[in-house]
Structure 1
Amino acid sequence: MTRMKRSPDHEDEHIDLATHTDPDRNRLTPLLRLPPEPALAVVTALAAVVREAHVREREFPTPPGTLKRAQEFEEGDVYMAEAPFEGFFADRYLMDFYDVRERGVCSRMHLHTGLRFVRMMTGPATTIRVSSLVPITVLDAHWPGTPLLTVVDALPDAPVPRERHTVVVPENSWVDMQIPRGVSHQFNAVGPHAVIDSVHPEESIETLREGMSGYRMMAQTIFLAEQRSTADPCTEP
């Protein structure tokens, strides 16, 4: 595979939305719904791991040239729970989502230089809007109740007209998503209780392929917009 980044360590690189074509589709599998109390307990405990890591980072900053495990991304704070090592190329991140209503901005549509597997978990009064430039394939699963809500609208603030395909993850839910390399996606949590458990199965490989100097979520990302839009387009329905 060829490299995707123009500048390997650039943490805010973006590409032309007008010419981008997704090479594949994201695949989303609804797993289960929980009662509000256990859903809140799981999400709160995982978010606490991330928050404690960021407290430690502020108190004892990672020395330059050393792997920084507490990082920030547009959707939330992240913590590298397990790092790659020689002979094992994958790693695992936890993300504590920001509530887009509190921040007043949406995260941008983007793609990654390597494939991702993410498990999204929500608690009470919280949903996650999962979007892409192409339809998201929702796979069959043992899912109680009505199918997940899907919405098609215009990508906000785009310099050229592009459709946005969204699946809404309901409250108190676990949903898995497979994200192929180079496929657009966008996550926005509406509410205070949302986390992601994310596995990057080729992080060492993609870092070498792109010529990056380290493992950083932002550097492994290419955005499809220069700036973020206001929160309104990613809070409804």
Structure 2
Amino acid sequence: MTHGTETTGRMKQSPDHEDEILDVRRHQDPGRNRLTPVVQLPPDVALSVVDALAGLVRAAHHTEQTHPTPAGVLKQAQEFEEGDVFMLEPPFEGFFADRYLMDFYDTSERDICSRMHLHTGLRFVRMMTGPETTIRVSSLSPITVRPAAANWTGPLRAFTDALPGTPTGVHRDRHNVIVPPNSWVDMQIPRGVSHQFNAVGPNAVIDSVHPEESIETLREGMSGYRMMAQTIFLAKDKSPATTCANLTDPSSSTRH
């Protein structure tokens, strides 16, 4: 099993395991995530977009509850630690990618933060927020914030704090960037690079592309397209909302 320093070969000990844990003491990211501010919208426009996309996820999950997917058929309504998911566009032979939408959970409402994790394939993520909602993006490596693609009001807030839930006596820096309300931000996540998303507020959604989905399944020997099976966690347990709902760390505020 690799520990974050290799970019080829098998990453998981048990490919179908949906809660596999990697020792955070030994993991080193093989690269850095890149974040691009895209556009900021009027609150009513941002809310309309987020509601429309989140509505697709909610409708898919309602359908799954009333008419469960038969065994052996791709289940498109799934769950992540950060929110409910709908695989909008599954991969097919000759096109090794899928696209999913995620309706974020409100961290402060659930009093649970998602765990730091990595994936067996790269990801492209567009995060969208509506009114009174932010997303805290975190990684064990500094996050590269690229120039805004259009007019953007002020720099994104960034700071470093301590990763919660580490073994006794182990300290790992956690690098954080805050996505403000009514904003679109793109994030490029290389294979094997740690990341963590936590929304604070009710209006947040992700539109994500997995460009290696079928390849991952073949490489890792997975028995089906279960997105959580391509996730490797860097903590055994989820932490309370106090470890991710705060938006700044005054003791060590910095920009990357």
- Secondary structure at 2:108's aligned position in 1? helix
The correspondence of residues 1-237 of structure 1 with structure 2, limited to 5 A, is: 1-141=8-148, 142-159=150-167, 160-237=170-247
Distance 1:220 1:195 in 2: 20
Seq. identity, %: 73
Distance 2:205 2:212 in 1: 22
Runs of 4+ in structure 1 off by over 4 angstroms are: none
Distance 1:144 1:218 in 2: 34
Counterpart residue identity of residue 18, structure 2: E
Which deviates more from structure 2 when the two are superposed, residues 137-146 or residues 167-176?
137-146
Structure 1 residue ranges without an equivalent (≥5): none
Counterpart residue identity of residue 63, structure 1: P
Distance 1:76 1:143 in 2: 30
Given that residues 37 and 152 in structure 2 are in contact (C-alpha distance below 8 angstroms), is that contact kept between their aligned partners in structure 1?
Answer: no
Given that residues 169 and 175 in structure 1 are in contact (C-alpha distance below 8 angstroms), is that contact kept between their aligned partners in structure 2?
Answer: yes
Given that residues 30 and 143 in structure 1 are in contact (C-alpha distance below 8 angstroms), is that contact kept between their aligned partners in structure 2?
Answer: no
Given that residues 109 and 132 in structure 1 are in contact (C-alpha distance below 8 angstroms), is that contact kept between their aligned partners in structure 2?
Answer: yes
Distance 2:231 2:67 in 1: 27
Distance 2:84 2:240 in 1: 19
Structure 2 residue ranges without an equivalent (≥5): 1-7, 248-256
Distance 1:16 1:196 in 2: 28
- Report the number of matched residues: 237
- Cα deviation code 1:20-76 (max 9, x no counterpart): 000000000000100000000000000000000000000000011110000000000
Given that residues 162 and 174 in structure 2 are in contact (C-alpha distance below 8 angstroms), is that contact kept between their aligned partners in structure 1?
Answer: yes
- 1:156 CA displacement: 1.1
- 1:157 CA displacement: 1.9
- Secondary structure at 1:219's aligned position in 2? helix
Distance 2:84 2:151 in 1: 29
Counterpart residue identity of residue 191, structure 2: R
- Cα deviation code 1:180-229 (max 9, x no counterpart): 00000000000000000000001000110000011112100000000000
Distance 1:157 1:210 in 2: 28
- 1:145 CA displacement: 1.6
* TM-score, with length taken from structure 2: 0.92
- 1:233 CA displacement: 1.1
- 1:143 CA displacement: 3.9
